[in-house]
């Protein structure tokens, strides 16, 4: 028992921080190359049947044994038998949190491409599986999908490694966290979007322009913020830290931060909310304060979700082509599954400012 | 060739209209009982391999041959071998159209129950598959799901029969069309919701209350309309046909119909929109006409989608528990797959009026 425990600890020992997936598999792989199931079984001191169960995501394996086998695979690699495991006609679409119109746009985009390839889309939330001894990732491995699309913060490093070792391609949508990774991904030009939104407000004469950002750990939010700052710098305007507030992409964040911004001695005349939900929160706060949009306060959002055109007044926002991004991610994962080598590992689609009725010329009387 | 064609025509001959699924399988099944694959092959004059392909949703079968085999199965039934085909751990969730927050609430409800049972959710649109010779339903059969949940107008009669003959349970969410069917289903108390919404407006003093309904063929809309009429009758108010207008559940329908209603010589002082999207259309029209909600016009919606609380003013609406309905449908389909016989074939969950800020007392001056 103590023997097994020590091997688990060794197998689970933390990797050098900052190492990328490619680093790991290259650097730590012994010259002999990846192991067969039989070799993994020998290394781990378990039966071949047990390794097979872990590799194929079956449930009858204890968490300790599973971690032990995964550790050996992670360290040495796993060489699949020549006879390729039959894949089902499924694409996995994994969300960190399944919520809202943002997720629906992505689902539709993936579904469109998947159905053209006679593939069905399996939806899941990476954190939702609760059954002991068999997590979400084991379910994925058991289903043997053509590939996996992870949205936002969908998969952790260990899960990414598990897919990699089974030869299941993974593409990330709008990835966050560590920028230096080898995984194929699809994103939008967030920096340009942030620049365009802010420049639009500057051109309307606004000088006190606030930003309600997303969480600092989310890179797409950071890119929008950098675009916002670049536009201010280019116009020779001061970057006032009091006008930048960090939200969590929910309506309530827009509401709370707008209330605080309006209470400043020198309040903003325009607010750039880093997603449409937060822009709706700005609307709420403006309404509560008796301010008219756009007469008293200009508002710009980000995403251009379908329903936002029906806000009153219609929201000026930066369109992020979520459906196209999702479709591109699906195409990339299907191509990778077919053995195609992508020309580029990182696809960036353009954002576009959509001007509606929530922004107006700054008038000193307001 | 002519021989096969005539057999196809016979197999595809229209059933007596109005017959339910149980009628069909009972009445048309010969005393000998359902056929094995070998017997179906003999009847259809095709190979056993071909029947097996059709039964398991494989793609290498011509549409004519597929129709021929399906016809024999439909006529005589199909007896599965003792050795039960292995099912994958999937639940199929089928939409007529994958769109909007309504669909997202259903997806979340199904996902919640499915994940508790270690099942993954496959999403599809029944009408989206385009590959010749292998429609959407063949994909479902090939995936061998635990069961299928159809939303709204998801499946036609032929597709329902194909699932039935393979022993794949089907549960309908919010079904429309023929009310007399034997399929298990989950719905909401639409009639009570229509009554509650209208009674609320009557209690506020409104007498000219308009209704913007859904499509006439959709039974849930008809039930809401009947509830609306019952409330008017109970209060001794006239049912004015000019105040009832048929929409298609989109924002634009609410907009167009409200414009027409406001142009009447004796316009309504309150509008009951049969879903939240149409209520947003009422907001649009009121804003365009310079009318304030609720001061000049009261509005009630239906569904209570998550985002509707952020409309300005917050929408008074009839809450339909979509997440719970979807979770119940998932539980029913899992129970049926496990061989459990449901106590009731038809589950109705309660609707509830949620009063927010879009309704106010009628004042004659308005």
Q: Where are the domains of chain A?
A: 2-73, 90-188+323-349, 190-320
Average pLDDT value for residue range A147-164 = 81
pLDDT-based confidence at B80, cuts 50/70/90?
low
In this structure, the strands spanning A352-354 and B209-213 are: unpaired
CATH class, range B190-320: alpha beta
Query: Nearest C-alpha of chain A: how many angstroms from B112?
Result: 8
Q: Which residue has the tokens 């199909």?
A: B78
Tell me the chain A residues in contact with residue B122 when contact means C-beta distances shorter than 8 Å: 90, 120-123
Chain A and chain B share a number of CB contacts under 8 A equal to 118
Average pLDDT value for residue range B48-75 = 82
Which residue, among B364, B322, B362, B310, has the nearest Cα to B200 in the 3D structure?
B362
Residue A13 has pLDDT above 80, yes or no: no
Residue A178 has pLDDT above 60, yes or no: no
Decide: A243 and A270 in contact? Cβ < 8 Å: no
**Higher pLDDT, residue A333 or B156:** A333
Q: Which residues contact B14 (CB under 8 A, 6 or more apart)?
A: none
State in Å, rounded, how far the first CA of chain B is from the last one. 74
Tell me if B88 and A89 make a contact (CB, 8 A cut-off). no
Query: Nearest C-alpha of chain A: how many angstroms from B100?
Result: 6
Digit-coded pLDDT (tens) for B142-151: 888 999 999 8
What pLDDT is stored for residue A67 in this prediction? 85
pLDDT-based confidence at B236, cuts 50/70/90?
very high
CATH class, range A2-73: mainly alpha
pLDDT-based confidence at B180, cuts 50/70/90?
low
Right CATH for B90-188+323-349 from 3.30.70.270, 1.10.357.10, 1.10.150.170, 3.40.50.2300: 3.40.50.2300
A154-193 per-residue burial string, b: 16 or more CB within 10 A, e: under 16: bbeeebbbbbbbbebbbbbbbbbeeeebebbbbbbbbbbb
Tell me the chain A residues in contact with residue B250 when contact means C-beta distances shorter than 8 Å: none
Q: Which residue has the tokens 């969480």?
A: A215
Query: Nearest C-alpha of chain A: how many angstroms from B16?
Result: 34
Residue A43 has pLDDT above 90, yes or no: no
Residue B153 has pLDDT above 70, yes or no: no
Return the structure tokens found at B101.
């927050």
What pLDDT is stored for residue A180 in this prediction? 52
pLDDT-based confidence at B28, cuts 50/70/90?
very low
Decide: B46 and B69 in contact? Cβ < 8 Å: yes
Bond from prior residue into B313 cis (ω within 30 degrees of 0): yes
What pLDDT is stored for residue A7 in this prediction? 34
What pLDDT is stored for residue A91 in this prediction? 95
Residue B71 has pLDDT above 70, yes or no: yes
Q: Please state which of the ranges B167-176, B199-208, B246-255, B298-307 shows the lowest mean pLDDT.
A: B167-176
Q: Please state which of the ranges A273-287, B107-121, B161-175, B285-299 shows the lowest mean pLDDT.
A: B161-175
Query: Nearest C-alpha of chain A: how many angstroms from B98?
Result: 7
Tell me the chain A residues in contact with residue B134 when contact means C-beta distances shorter than 8 Å: 118
CA–chain centroid gap for B30, Å, is 33
Q: Return d(Cα B291, Cα B258) in angstroms, integer.
A: 12
What pLDDT is stored for residue A271 in this prediction? 98
Residue B81 has pLDDT above 70, yes or no: no
Mean pLDDT across chain A, nearest whole number?
Answer: 83
Tell me if A89 and B284 make a contact (CB, 8 A cut-off). no
Helix, strand or coil, per DSSP, at residue A321: coil
Q: Do domains A2-73 and A90-188+323-349 have the same CATH topology?
A: no
Q: Which residue has the tokens 């105040």?
A: B243
What pLDDT is stored for residue A127 in this prediction? 62
Q: CB-CB: which of B107, B139, B310 is closest to A120?
A: B139
DSSP B71-123: HHHHHH-B---SSPPPPPSEEEEEESS--HHHHHHHHHHHHHHHHHTT-EEEE
Which residue, among B176, B172, B167, has the nearest Cα to B345 in the 3D structure?
B172
Tell me the chain A residues in contact with residue B118 when contact means C-beta distances shorter than 8 Å: 59, 129, 131, 134, 139
Mutate to test the interface with A, among B90, B119, B120 (most CBs of A within 10 A): B120
Tell me if B120 and A123 make a contact (CB, 8 A cut-off). yes
Residue A63 has pLDDT above 90, yes or no: no
Which residue, among A167, A138, A139, has the nearest Cα to A67 in the 3D structure?
A138
Residue A277 has pLDDT above 60, yes or no: yes
What pLDDT is stored for residue B341 in this prediction? 75
Mutate to test the interface with B, among A122, A148, A279 (most CBs of B within 10 A): A122
Alpha-carbon torsion (A35, A36, A42, A47), positive or negative: positive
Helix, strand or coil, per DSSP, at residue B271: strand
Q: How far is CA B329 from CA A60, B115, B246, in A?
A: 29, 14, 29
Tell me the chain A residues in contact with residue B123 when contact means C-beta distances shorter than 8 Å: 107, 111, 120-123
H-run or E-run covering A136: helix A136-143
Q: CB-CB: which of B59, B112, B284 is closest to A312?
A: B284
In this structure, the strands spanning A185-188 and A170-173 are: parallel
Decide: B270 and B262 in contact? Cβ < 8 Å: no
Which residue, among B121, B105, B108, has the nearest Cα to A140 in the 3D structure?
B121
Digit-coded pLDDT (tens) for B275-301: 999 999 999 999 999 999 999 999 999
Q: Return d(Cα B123, Cα A123) in angstroms, integer.
A: 7
Average pLDDT value for residue range B58-72 = 82
Respond yes or no on whether ipTM tops 0.85: no
Work out the percent of chain B whose per-residue pLDDT is above 90: 52
Tell me if B89 and A139 make a contact (CB, 8 A cut-off). yes
Digit-coded pLDDT (tens) for A313-343: 999 999 999 999 999 999 999 999 988 876 6
CA angle A110/A95/A53 to nearest 5° reads 95
């Amino acid at each position: 028992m103590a023997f097994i425990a020590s091997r688990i600890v060794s197998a689970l020992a933390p990797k050098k921080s900052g190492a990328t997936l490619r680093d790991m598999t290259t650097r730590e792989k012994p010259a002999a190359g990846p192991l067969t199931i039989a070799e993994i079984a020998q290394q781990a001191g378990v039966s071949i049947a047990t390794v097979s169960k872990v590799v194929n995501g079956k449930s009858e394996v204890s968490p300790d044994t599973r971690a032990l086998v995964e550790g050996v695979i992670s360290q040495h690699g796993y060489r699949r038998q020549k006879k390729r495991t039959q894949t089902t006609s499924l694409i996995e679409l994994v969300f960190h949190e399944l919520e809202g119109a943002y997720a629906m746009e992505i689902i539709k985009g993936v579904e469109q491409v998947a159905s053209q390839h006679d593939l069905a889309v399996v939806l899941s939330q990476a954190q939702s599986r609760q059954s002991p001894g068999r997590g979400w990732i084991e379910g994925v491995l058991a289903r043997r999908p053509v590939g996996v699309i992870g949205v936002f913060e969908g998969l952790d490093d260990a899960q990414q490694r598990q897919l990699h070792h089974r030869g299941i391609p993974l593409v990330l949508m709008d990835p966050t966290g560590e920028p230096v990774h080898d995984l194929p991904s699809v994103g939008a030009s967030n920096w340009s979007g942030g620049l365009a939104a802010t420049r639009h407000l500057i051109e309307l004469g606004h000088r006190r322009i606030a930003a309600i950002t997303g969480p600092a750990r989310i890179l797409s939010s950071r890119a929008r913020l950098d675009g916002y700052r670049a536009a201010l710098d280019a116009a020779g305007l001061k970057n006032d830290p009091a006008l930048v507030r960090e939200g969590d992409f929910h309506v309530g964040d827009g509401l709370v931060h707008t209330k605080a911004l309006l209470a400043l001695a020198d309040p903003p005349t325009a607010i750039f909310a880093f997603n449409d939900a937060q822009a709706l929160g700005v609307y709420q706060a403006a309404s509560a304060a008796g301010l008219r949009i756009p007469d008293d306060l200009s508002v710009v959002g980000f995403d251009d979700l379908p329903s936002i055109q029906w806000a009153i007044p219609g929201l000026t926002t930066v369109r992020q082509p979520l459906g196209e991004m999702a479709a591109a991610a699906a195409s990339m994962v299907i191509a990778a599954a077919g053995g195609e080598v992508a020309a580029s590992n990182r696809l960036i689609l353009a954002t576009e400012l959509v001007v509606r009725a929530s922004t107006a010329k700054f008038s000193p009387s307001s």
